[in-house]
Amino acid sequence: MPRIVHTLWTGLRLRCPDCGEGRLYTGLRRHTRCAACGVLFERSEEGDFLVTVVVSYSIAAVFVAAFVFLLNWLVPGLDIYLQVALSVALGLGFVVATYRNVKGLSVALLHLTFGLRPPRTGTREERDV
Ligand SMILES: [Zn+2]
């Protein structure tokens, strides 16, 4: 399996995208770093949240579009307001149900694009030496 696909799949399975061993979540609690290799799962930049939102929205949009297509095919002539209500409910439910996996996928994407590094420790003078 190509490295990119393997890394994305590892994140989707809620495992560390770097080593594949550590868990991203315990229940609903997200870990800040990998218990196995120590890599950080969250960078201290605000754009990380935006990556998760964009990935989640993109997947939900494809899912809802497929649902609307299937609904129109199975139940022709269904009231448009009912279609919209069902689609919105399904889309919101999909986003909530898959949030952890999408977060894992976005962590994997961040790992592939920017890398997930442990924080620098010590004072600025100690780091610059
Ligand atoms: Zn790890």
Please write the tens of the pLDDT for every residue from 96-118.
999 999 999 989 988 888 777 65
d(C-alpha 48, C-alpha 27), whole Å: 21
Protein residues near ligand 1, an ion, with CB under 5 A: 16, 18-19, 22, 34, 36-37
Bridge partners, residue 29, by sequence: 26
Span from the CA of 108 to the centroid of ligand 1 (angstroms) = 11
Report pLDDT digits (tens) over 6-24. Answer: 999 999 999 999 999 999 9
Structure tokens at 76: 């022709």
Task: Enter the tokens of residue 36.
Answer: 């196995």
pLDDT at 120: 54
Confidence class of residue 129 from pLDDT cuts 50, 70 and 90? Answer: very low
**Ligand 1 centroid to 27 CA: how many Å?**
18
Q: Measure 6 CA to ligand 1 centroid, in angstroms.
A: 14
pLDDT tens-digit series, residues 40-84: 887 766 677 888 888 888 999 999 999 999 999 999 989 999 999
Q: pLDDT grade, residue 127 (50/70/90)? A: very low
**What confidence score (pLDDT) does residue 128 get?**
47
Compute the distance from residue 31 Cα to the ligand 1 centre, in Å: 11
The string of DSSP codes covering 40-108 is BSS-SSTHHHHHHHHHHHHHHHHHHHHHHHHHHHHSTT--HHHHHHHHHHHHHHHHHHTHHHHHHHHHH
Identify whether the C-beta of residue 43 lies closer than 8 Å to the C-beta of residue 114.
yes
Task: Write the CB contacts of 24 (distance below 8 Å, at least 6 apart in sequence).
Answer: 11, 14, 15, 16, 30, 31, 41, 100, 103, 104, 107
Tokens of 58: 């993109």
Res 121: pLDDT: 56
Please give the Cα distance from 16 to 107 (Å, whole number).
Answer: 9
Tell me how crowded residue 54 is: count the other CB atoms within 10 A of its CB: 14
The structure's pTM equals 0.74
